[in-house]
Amino acid sequence: MTTESITIYVGQWNNRDYVFSLEKEEAESLVNAHFAFGDPLEDEYALGNYWATGDNAEGWRIVERKISVPVIKVHIKISEDGGTSHVTWRCPSCKQPYSDDWEANDELPTLLACGCETTSKYLLGVS
């Protein structure tokens, strides 16, 4: 299996990962759209709606990581009837099949994640 060294951007709340992307700006957008981003006084699932101002400060932050990931083949299944399109793939470590939503503006390569964590949490999907 081929591996590639890449840079990813992870959106965290107090050192816990919530979102990930190959682009910093997209990671920021994903944090802002995440159900955990909001005022906890107004939403029981919200953690906070502010960005950390220092290394040890509470709040959301984008963390850059340089990692080596397996490169895997994915399949794009475009919905013909206006429904949700999907990217399908299989984790090479646990052999589990996955299907994630695929938006019209999504592009390959795409950053994927598997919860098995036997070798790599993140994978890079290509056609």
Q: How do residues 19-75 score in pLDDT, each as one tens digit?
A: 999 999 999 999 999 999 999 999 999 999 999 999 889 999 999 999 999 999 999
Tell me the whole-structure pTM to 2 decimals: 0.89
Strands 16-21 and 122-126, how do they pair?
A: unpaired
Closest CA to 36 of 56, 12, 4: 12
Residue 120, pLDDT > 70, answer no
pLDDT band (50, 70, 90) for residue 125? very high
Residue 85, pLDDT > 90, answer yes
Higher pLDDT, 22 or 105: 22
Residue type, 88: T
Give CA 107 to chain center in angstroms: 14
Q: What is the pLDDT of residue 80?
A: 84
How far apart, in whole angstroms, are the C-alpha atoms of residue 114 and residue 89?
Answer: 10
Q: What is the pLDDT of residue 110?
A: 97
Q: What is the pLDDT of residue 4?
A: 97
pLDDT band (50, 70, 90) for residue 81? confident
Closest CA to 48 of 62, 64, 63, 35: 35
Q: The tokens 């019209």 sit on which residue?
A: 104
